[in-house]
Structure 1
Amino acid sequence: MAFFTACGSSKDLPDAYEVYEKGDDTEMSMQIEQPDFFAKGLCVGGTENVTGEYIPDDIASALVFLPDEEKIEYAENIYDKVYPASTTKILTAYLALKYGNLDDPITVSSTAASVPAESSVCGFKAGDQITLYDALSGLMLMSGNDAANVIAEYVSGSNSDFCVLMNQEARLLGATHSHFVNPHGYPADDHYTTAYDLYLIFQAALKDDTFRQLMAEKEMDVSYQNAAGETVNAKWESTNHYYTGEAEIPSGFEILGGKTGSSNSSGFCLVLYSKDQENRPVISIIMRSASKEILYQQMSRLLSVYG
């Protein structure tokens, strides 16, 4: 039996859940009122797939939702367990924006600057003087695992305490089939989600103007001070191939942003926000495609057929 509480944060956090686990089942006793969006504003479907003339090959799950109309255009295995990789950072950004102040100064710790092998990074070093906005920018554009660590320590004091908060907040959003053990999505057996849970988290994050602004940035010039007081200048570029020109945007669509993710266990993933030729917002997700090139081909086809 394991008990978790949210602790170590410098911000006001929601009341803790009382959690207990038995095998693969987790039950939670919640002491907070359910948010308004449980009653309205969500695309809610049954357990059956909703497909049509085009079904992408060799993926784990996919969806195309029209959120303003609360309409499901495509849904394939959206409640199946998947590994999120860096799409995890949507939740990390959501929590930073919910509990943080963008102008707050942060000193990068040696722990935050230390990331697993083959991580995507911003290149932060111990002692760097940045702001929360800098960390969020690096998180969303460069998909920096070091930026995720910085945010976790800023919000909760440590990665472990931040992960408690991630799991609490995910459940508040209705994402009850997810479990997070780090703030960046580096592969771990006990770090998982579903396409539908990612949709719930993404839709919540989209309510924040700064989140929408950062996910829409194609590139950004940044500067900050290192431990020696010297200025570090860098250019950060989006990992979204629709923005880099490596993938063709579907006819009639405007890409408004999103979040990529990839690892050996997750395959290639994309959570995307766009507008169709009727100016309707579209949320689309593909999890575990076979390659980056195929991922964007599949996403473009999904949008063209169902968006």
Structure 2
Amino acid sequence: MRKTEQKPDYYTQREWNRIQARETEERQKNLKLALIATFLLVLTACAIWAVYFYVFRSHDVSLLEAYSDSSTVFGLPGAGDRMSADPFSKGLCVTDSDVNPDAVFITSTEGALFDVTGQKVIYAKDIFEQRPQASLTKLMTALVAFKYGNLDDVVTVTETANDIEEGSSVCGLHVGDQLTLKQLVYGMLIASGNDAAMMVAEHVGGSVDKFVQMMNDESVKLGATHTHFVNPYGMTQDNHYTCAYDVYLTFNALMQYDLFLDIIGRKTYYAEYKDGTGDAYGNTWTTTDHYLDGSAETPDNVTVYGGKTGTTDAAGACLSILSKDAYGNPYISVILNSQDKEQLYVDMTQILSLAGK
């Protein structure tokens, strides 16, 4: 306690009381300033610690098992009341090498069989080798259309539909025709129409180039790191490639869409739309899948539901299909670069013979 000072004789009592009051007020003011300074110092220290921990120290926190969904990860909420990250490979068939390469003999360059329910790679031959993909490109075109397009939109065919490789497969579209986006996707996947693929790209992306960028962005999201697109329909170009495993990733992502499953299982599709004069026009598109059209014998142990074909000189004959065994378990199979269409289905039947075993 501060000792009370004696009043000097040269001050009156009134003057002395005023001086004492001012000194008391000054001491209280200084005390408040000291408390504020202390608070600011503590706050600054906390801020510095937070920056250190969250910007620098937290980088040291990582998954010890990148593919284990039981590993706890700092700052990432998981399911229920646990704090964990879903592994990138959750729900996927994963391998980093060939699987059972001697189980069957195929002449195609790449081949694979994936057990969707069991999340197992049953067979894999050189499935990470990059090569031309032909019309299997349209699987990604469809995925981007499903995710970002309005399938009920009416699309007017422009000259862009004709900006395709000479002699390529088409749906027979003409400038001025008016179809829904859904109809275009049917034609693109069933008849493998390059003109339809170009119109899907222009409508959904605003331009073909922007749509192709969307395709590449979607590949990154899927983890399809051995794939790159330059066009939306599969014309052979430098820097336009994929691998069998990335085709599986894309096909697997498409299986969540009921419309995709309906499309790939159709032998034919009749589209009725308006032509450039406004008159009604009808067009029937036929599948390019030889299992579905009966020109290739189907395997005994599975039911083939359909898929996507692709053929160019550079890519060879390619095929990715969905099939199911006797218990209804789905399988995705992929072949790239078969010598011709006849050998393509011979090899695919060989691969599918492993399903359910």
Give the TM-score, by structure 2 length.
Answer: 0.74
Q: Equivalent residues in 2 for 1:52-91 (5 A)?
A: 52-57=102-107, 59-91=108-140
Corresponding residue for residue 273 of structure 1: 322
Deviation per residue, 1:54-73 (Å, 9 max, x gap): 1202x221101101101111
In structure 1, C-alpha distance between the alignment counterparts of 2:90 and 2:158, rounded to whole Å: 42
- CA-CA distance at 1:264 after TM superposition: 0.2
**Alpha-carbon distance in structure 2 between the residues aligned to 1:37 and 1:285:** 24
Matched to 2:235, the amino acid is: Y
- The one of 136, 140, 165 equivalent to 2:185 is 136
Paired with 1:279 and 1:37, the residues of 2 have a C-alpha distance of: 27
Match of 2:94, as an amino acid?
A: V
2:209 to 160, 163, 177: 160
Name the structure 1 match of 2:345: 296
- State which of 298, 301, 306 in structure 2 corresponds to 1:257: 306
In the aligned structure 2, how far is the partner of 1:36 from the partner of 1:192? 29
Asked if residue 185 in structure 1 is aligned to residue 234 in structure 2, the reply is: yes
Question: 1:167-192 CA distances to partner (integer Å, 9 max, x unpaired)?
Answer: 01011001011110000001112100
Q: Which runs of 4+ in 1 moved over 6 A?
A: none
Alpha-carbon distance, 1:302 to partner: 1.2
Contact kept, 8 Å, 2:105 with 2:350, in 1: the verdict is: no
1:228 and 2:277 aligned = yes
Aligned equivalents of 1:77, 1:39: Cα separation in 2: 20
CA shift digits 1:31-80 (9 cap, x unpaired): xxxx96824110001224432331202x2211011011011110000000
CA RMSD, 1 decimal: 1.4
Larger Rg: 2
Answering whether residue 230 of structure 2 is matched by residue 199 of structure 1, we say no
What TM-score, normalized to structure 1?
0.86
CA distance in 2, matches of 1:108, 1:36: 43
Mapped pair 1:248 → 2:286: no
1:5 counterpart residue number = none
Which structure: greater helix fraction?
A: 2
Higher relative contact order (CA 8 A, sep 6+): 1
State whether structure 2 residue 121 is matched by structure 1 residue 42: no
Aligned identity (percent) is: 42
Whether the 8 Å CA contact 1:82–1:195 is kept in 2: the answer is no
**Structure 1 residue aligned with 2:335, among 276, 286, 291?**
286
* Distance change in 2, residues 1:227/1:36 (3 Å): farther
Contact 1:112 1:153 in 2 (8 A): no
Aligned length: 272
CA distance in 1 between counterparts of 2:160 and 2:315 reads 25
Partner residue, 1:21: none
Alpha-carbon distance change, 53 to 188 in structure 1, aligned in 2, over 3 angstroms: same
User: Following the alignment from structure 1 to structure 2, what is the Cα–Cα distance between the partners of residues 71 and 96?
Assistant: 29
| CA distance 1:47–1:252, shift in 2 (3 Å) | closer
